[in-house]
Amino acid sequence: MSNLVIVESPAKAKTIKKYLGEDYNVIASMGHIRDLPKGQIAIDFDNNFKPRYINIPGKSKLIKELKEMAAASDMVYLATDPDREGEAISWHLAHILKLDTQQSNRVTFGEITKKGITDGMANKRTIDMDLINAQQARRILDRIVGYKLSPFLWKKVKGGLSAGRVQSVAVKLIVDRHREIEAFIPREYWNIDAVLTPAGSAKKFRARYWGTDGKKMTVATQQQAYEIKQQCENAQFEIEKITKGERKRVPAPPFTTSSLQQEASRRLGFTASRTMRAAQTLYEGVEVAGFGTLGLITYMRTDSLRISDEAYFAAKKFVGEKYGDKYVPPYRRNYKAKNNAQDAHEAIRPTNVNITPEIAYGSLSGDVEKLYKLIWERFMASQMADSIQETVSVDISCLNHLYKATGYTVLFDGFTALYEEQTDEKKEKETALPPLEKDTKLKLREMEAEQKFTQPPSEYTEATLIKALEENGIGRPSTYAPIIYTIIERGYVERNAKKLVPTALGLTVNDVLAAQFANIVDVKFSANMEDSLDKIEEGATEWTDVIREFYDIFSADLEKAEKEMDGQKVKVPEVMTDEICEVCGKPMVIKTGRYGKFMACSGFPECTNTKKIVKYAKGACPKCGGRILQLTSKKGRVFYACESGTDCGFMSWEEPTDKVCELCGSTMFKKSAKGAQPHCIKEGCPNASVTPPATRGRKKKTEN
C-alpha cells in the first residue's frame, strides 16, 4: 500500500519520513500553493464576499508533481501545521488534488517525534471548515483594507504607501507612546539616604527617608532635602520596628508564542522574526548526536499553558534526579492562561527533557542553540519548587523623621537554581541587612541627598509592544512577528537601538488614518474583530456576517474621507540633518526610497545631490587609525568596521568607547554584557590580553 503525506517544509518532511517508513512518501508543499492574486482585490462583493483563488505563479511544476504522486497513492494525508494557516493550506491542497474534504485525511503533529507522529496518524479527522472560514475571513478583511485604503493614501499622502488592518493599530500604539513621552514634563524629587551601622558592627546598610510625623512625604526641592539632611546629621538614629516575614516566589509558566518572543528579545536581543525562525527549525527537526533527527520542541504557535501528563512526569523525574527531591513541588502546577487563549496545543516545551542544552550543544549552533537553551530552562524551572525568601523591613526613627530599610535572605533557591524570568520593569534593589534588633541605636556614617526627576514611559521595544498587543487582544501569537516586520519594512517605524520609534512618515500616515478611519486604528474595535474571528473558528458565527458588518462601517468611512479630503494632499515633513550638501551648500534631508533611507539635498529639484546615510562610532580603528562605522548585519545585529572596508579588514562585535589605552593610545572596546569594562584590542599591545572579538570563541558560521 502506498501512502502520501503532504507537509509544508522540506525539513519537516525529512524528519517525518524517517519515522513513517517505506510505506509512506512525504513531500513538502513549500507553504501555500493557492492564494488571492496580486494586483487585484479578487473578492466578489456582490456574491457574499466570495474570494477568487488562483494557483500561485511559479508553483506549476510542484503542483504537477503533487497531482502525479496523489494519483499514484492509495491514501493522501494532509499534514500541514496545526493552526488556521495550516488548515487553509490543507484545504487548498484538497481542492487542487480533488480530495474528498469529508474524508478523514487531515493529520496534525503537536511535536515532530516518534510519539507525536504516531499520535497524529492515529487521530485522523476531516478538514475543519470553521478553521478555514476563520482564516478566510482574516485574509479577506486584510485584503479589503489593504486594497481599498492604500489607494486613498497614495492620493492624500504619497505614492507607494500601504495600510493594514492590524498593523495600523500597532503603529498607533507606538505613535501614542512617542507623543506621550514628548509631552511629558519631568517633576523634581529628592532621595535622602542614611548610611548606618549597628553598634559593634562594621557592616553598613542604607535606609531611605520615608516621611515626617508619621506621614509619607515626597521631598520636592533641594531646600527641603538639605533641611532634613542637616537635622539628621547630628541626631540619633534608632530602630523603632522590625518586621520579618517569608515570601514565596513562584516560577514563570512555560512559554507561549508571545512570552517566548518577549523573553528572547530581553535576554538574547532577538527580533520576533528571528525568534520564530529558530523555533521553526527546532520544531521541524534537527539531528542530535545519540538521538537521531527529531523535533526538539513542541509546536511554537500557541497561547496555551497546558502540558501533557507525559511531559509533567518526565520533568518531575529529571528534577528529582538532578537537583534532589526538595526541588520537586509537592503538587502539580496548573498555570492559568488568558481568557481568550486557544487550547488546541500545549505550551512550548522540549519534546525530550533528557536532551539538555549541554547534550544538544554539539549538534546545534547560533540562534537555534541559544533558543533551545532558553526554552528548556524555562520549562524545567516551571516544574520546580518555589524559591523561599526571608524578608526584613526596618523602621528607623531620627527626631520626628522616619527612614525605612528592606532586605531579604534566600532560605531556599528552588527554581532560581536554574532560571529566573527577566522583566521590563525596573525594581528597587534589595540587599541583605546585618543582624538588627528593636531599640538598637545606630551610628550614622554618611547622609546623602540625591536629585531625581520623574521619568516618562519608555518607547516600545519589540518585547513591550508584543506584550501590549497581547494584553489588548490585537492580533494572535502567529501574527506578532509579521506585524512588527511589516511596520518597519514600510518605513512607518524604525529601530533605534532596541526601541521602536515612529518615523515622520509613520506619524503622518497615523494622523490621517486616526482622523478619517477612527475604527481602523482603534484598539477596542480591533480587539472585537479578533473576538469575532475566534467565534468563527468556534462555529458560533457566520464568517460572511462578520465581513459584511465590518465592510459596511469601513466603506462608509472611506466615502466620507474621500469627500472631506477632496483636493487635499498631506505633506510628510522632511527630517533635516547636520550634513551640508557639498554641491550647493544647502542642508541635507533624509528621504526614503525603494531601497531604504538616503540623504538628499533640500534644494531639490535645483540640486539633485544624494548620498548614503553613514553612522560613525566613537574612536578610531585600532588597525589603521581610520574612522569606525556602526553597521547592522542581515540578522539585525550591530557590529563595527573600519570605513576603509576590505583595504583594512577590521571588524568587531564589541562597541568602541571614548577611552584610549594608556600604553598604545588605541581606542578601547567593550563587550555588550552588563558591567563590562573597556579593554584594548590592538594587536601587539601588552594591554591586549584577549583575542580580538572577530575571531574569539568556538568556531561557528560567520554572520553576514
Residues recognised as catalytic: 299
Q: Are 424 and 463 in contact (CB under 8 A)?
A: yes
Q: Are 623 and 680 in contact (CB under 8 A)?
A: no
What is the C-alpha separation between 25 and 41, in angstroms, rounded?
37
Burial of 309 (0-12, 13-18, 19+ CB in 10 A): exposed
Question: Considering only CA atoms, which of 475, 479, 478, 484 is closest in space to residue 527?
Answer: 475
Q: For 275-285, b where at least 16 C-beta lie within 10 A, e where not — what string?
A: bbbbbbbbbbb
For residue 260, how many other CB atoms are within 10 A of its CB? Answer: 28
CA 361 to chain centre: 24
Instruction: Give the CA distances from residue 168 to residues 175, 191, 591, 673, in Å, rounded to whole numbers and listed in that order.
Output: 10, 42, 21, 35
Q: Which residue has the cell 590592538?
A: 682
What is the C-alpha separation between 556 and 333, in angstroms, rounded?
51
Written as nine digits, the cell of 489 is: 519594512
DSSP letter string over 10-79? HHHHHHHHHHH-TTEEEEE--S-SEEPPTTS--EETTTTTEE--EEPTT-HHHHHHHHHHHHT-SEEEE-
Q: Nearest 5 degrees, angle CA 221-CA 224-CA 227?
A: 145
How many Cα atoms are found within 13 Å in the side-chain-facing hemisphere of 233?
Answer: 10
SS3 360: helix
Q: Are 654 and 666 in contact (CB under 8 A)?
A: no
What is the C-alpha separation between 395 and 136, in angstroms, rounded?
62
SS3 151: helix
What is the C-alpha separation between 693 and 670, in angstroms, rounded?
10
What is the C-alpha separation between 191 and 228, in angstroms, rounded?
11
Question: Considering only CA atoms, which of 664, 650, 660, 659 is closest in space to residue 695?
Answer: 650
Question: Of how many residues is the chain composed?
Answer: 704
Q: Are 533 and 479 in contact (CB under 8 A)?
A: no
Q: Which residue has the cell 525530550?
A: 352
Percentage helix, strand, coil for the chain under 3-state DSSP, each rounded to 5: 35, 25, 40
Give residue 191's identity as a one-letter amino acid code: N
Question: Considering only CA atoms, which of 475, 482, 543 is closest in space to residue 136?
Answer: 543
DSSP 697: S
For residue 105, how many other CB atoms are within 10 A of its CB? Answer: 22
Q: Helices (H) and strands (E) in the chain — how many of each?
A: 17, 29
